[in-house]
Structure 1
């Protein structure tokens, strides 16, 4: 995830949009029961947390797929494996250590 996107998601004053979601009554009651046990002020913040968690997992999965497709494309274009590996190592160092050239 990009740093700017992460910063935006951590802002508490993010704009909100109302949505209507139909759910079985028993599920809503269970959400109301478990929300305070998990430290949430109510069931709606818990629902937002569940949706956000699933969304982040799916986004990460698709970003990873795009990344792997890029590597495969570079290989098909004739880019040497050592060049790709060196680039991956450089990116990993940047992500881990925040090192810029």
Structure 2
């Protein structure tokens, strides 16, 4: 996992690199997103979805910060263990971050 400082530095980079994804969503949810996006000041439903995802992501990152798994991850990174190895070990062990 990245440190808080690394995450903040990435968020502050402009322009931020974007990538295209495809996801399935119930039609009525998409219709409602399209309907409320302008009411909330968004130019369309996609920026609104990005805002919702960003908000949830920031909440989870805050909740998980300084968890035992995060502290262990940082210690292993300092020991030179690759992030891919750490992530695989956490997934394999079934550890939860909070």
Assess same fold via TM > 0.5.
yes
- 2-structure distance, mates of 1:10, 1:39: 22
Residue 44 (structure 1) aligned to one of 43, 46, 52: 46
- 2-structure distance, mates of 1:61, 1:38: 26
Q: TM-score, normalised by structure 1?
A: 0.58
Structure 2 portions without partners, runs of 5+: 73-98
Q: TM-score, normalised by structure 2?
A: 0.59
1:62 aligns with 2:73: no
User: Where in structure 1 do 4 or more consecutive aligned residues deviate above 3 Å?
Assistant: 1-4
> Of the two, which has the highest radius of gyration?
1
Cα displacement string for residues 37-77 of structure 1 (whole angstroms, at most 9, x for unaligned residues): 1111000000011011111111111104349x78xxxxxxx
Q: Secondary structure at the match of 2:25?
A: coil
Structure 1 portions without partners, runs of 5+: 71-101
- 2-structure distance, mates of 1:2, 1:65: 13
Residue 17 (structure 2) aligned to one of 9, 15, 18: 15
How much does 1:6 deviate? Answer: 1.9
Task: Decide which structure has greater helix share.
Answer: 1
Alignment RMSD (CA, Å): 2.2
- 1-structure distance, mates of 2:38, 2:12: 21
Equivalenced residues, count: 69
Equivalent residue, structure 2, for 1:79: none
Tell me which of the two structures has the higher relative contact order, counting C-alpha pairs closer than 8 angstroms and 6 or more residues apart.
Answer: 2
